[in-house]
Structure 1
């Protein structure tokens, strides 16, 4: 994060999918208006709310100022409720293709320098290289009382790491314009969210993953979270063990299949995925091949030891 600020900074497009978020929306929207040192436009859609969310968004749209600064994206034919993954994919498909894109959750509160930090970090990357920025968060309860920090991000995440775990929490993710075009090129599998897919695609195509260990927002933890987070590694690992290996390995295999269809996947990563698929398709007693693969691909790891132990066990047994 030591790179000097460049000027002028580009406008960033914020993507917001709303679903029954009336309790928290106004605090989020106020924090967008407080963003410093950057221009933004907001593309949003309601995913079939039955509370006051839509009315709040229309009020904000009328008050945000500037024609086109707050754009309501119409629902596709066939229904308004898409679910989180498809809703953000729909928004991303309608976002401007010539500017960075920031994912936004309806229940968070952004720090005033959130977008500015992200755009400066992205501007420090080689020109033309796709890049994804993500950061830590301050975890809070529903009343914004701090609970702790999200886990520290690893310094140099790579594609093999992205296969095992998503470290790019969606509410912190900002994609460069080149990364936006990459992510839109190929549909994700049904089982993963937009943030993990973006992390997989950008790293798989040889792009840059830029991590910021300074928190940039308050991340509410409450009963309505789609995913949520835990600051305690042992708690996360124990929860993963309870769920068992099959659910994760089904997602792991689906990700491999979807990524192999992406035209921008690097030749090295494509070859690596074909090798992984061959090992995973070899059922029966040949677990030694999986153990050898874990040893050979030591970069295919999770960022914390308890999480890595769980992943290794899953990879061997599922």
Structure 2
């Protein structure tokens, strides 16, 4: 059983986020679980972002640390937070700069981690409630029902980074990421690594935050016709091939950390991408990979048929 005063380090990546940042910071203040610290990596903001963080730091009793980001993109900023020597905590929570956390977000995550062995890498993430840029409701993110395991993580990211909380053992697994790694996204990589090394991932169907949708979103909610068209275009224009190239290359470099079963899944899927038909489909089936919805898994098979994996 974990102690009641377990420390959660919030990993907040910022860049010119002053328009919405104050609401996010206030949602940290409102957390019913009080044992948190805030580590902010600012990627060269030229607006009032840094000033808002500094003012917030003076108004709370929790420790707030503001550091300079690498200024090489959003996922590099999050990776720098995971690698930061300023981290001294038990749980770690990614945070975007423009959402609003529900008051019980950290408390619910903590309650789940209390039943997990501390030596096992563990990852918690949730559904989200969507809102427009002005804060008006915009529905919910998709509800996932199939197990969040490596066979899913290899071909689909179902964990929104803004909802993710992971333990110290999961952070140690992430620190084994090659220093020269190129990632598609920090959250997808987190899902792949934690499940790949034999850790456990848990998807909570209850939303933990309001996820703001606006014109400057780097990654938006994966819902609606527009999102489906984006996914189809990703297959058509070869982006999925590029994403797979990146993920598989660096997962292969970490294969010693993967469980034997997951290393076999990785190899089978990698071979399926380049094999001749009909062996290509057989290898895809043998790998056991799947997406959360049946029609998406069918789409995966169709992508394999036309060489778009």
Deviation string for 1:176-221 (max 9, x for gaps)?
1110111111138424111111100000001000110000100000
CA contact (8 A) 2:268 2:284 kept: no
CA contact (8 A) 2:266 2:287 kept: no
Q: Which residue of 2 aligns with 1:248?
A: 240
Deviation string for 1:36-83 (max 9, x for gaps)?
0341000102101121111111111222225xx1011244xxxx5221
The equivalences for 1:85-124 within 5 A come to: 85-94=75-84, 95-96=86-87, 98-124=89-115
- Aligned partner of 1:274 among 267, 288, 296: 267
1:230 aligns with 2:226: no
Q: How far does residue 271 in structure 1 lie from its aligned partner after superposition?
A: 2.5
CA contact (8 A) 2:24 2:101 kept: yes
TM-score (norm 1): 0.89
Q: Which residue of 1 aligns with 2:250?
A: 258
CA contact (8 A) 1:13 1:42 kept: yes
d(CA) in 2 for partners of 1:168, 1:178:
18
CA contact (8 A) 1:148 1:231 kept: no
Aligned length, in residue pairs:
303
Bigger shift: 6-15 or 196-205? 6-15
CA contact (8 A) 1:189 1:255 kept: no
Deviation string for 1:207-261 (max 9, x for gaps)?
00011000010000000111011333x5433222123342112211321121121
d(CA) in 1 for partners of 2:13, 2:277:
43
d(CA) in 2 for partners of 1:295, 1:265:
20
CA contact (8 A) 2:92 2:165 kept: yes
CA contact (8 A) 1:249 1:314 kept: no
- Aligned partner of 2:160 among 156, 169, 181: 169
Q: How far does residue 297 in structure 1 lie from its aligned partner after superposition?
A: 3.3
1:289 aligns with 2:279: yes
SS in 1 for 2:143: coil
SS in 2 for 1:139: strand
d(CA) in 2 for partners of 1:53, 1:183:
28
Residue ranges of structure 2 left out of the alignment (5+ in a row): none
Moved over 4 A (4+): none
Residue ranges of structure 1 left out of the alignment (5+ in a row): none
Bigger shift: 54-63 or 236-245? 236-245
The equivalences for 1:291-306 within 5 A come to: 291-298=281-288, 300-306=289-295
In angstroms, what is the RMSD of aligned CA positions? 1.9
With over 3 angstroms needed to count, the CA separation of the structure-2 counterparts of 1:116 and 1:190, relative to structure 1, is same
TM-score (norm 2): 0.92
Q: Which residue of 1 aligns with 2:187?
A: 195
With over 3 angstroms needed to count, the CA separation of the structure-2 counterparts of 1:133 and 1:149, relative to structure 1, is same
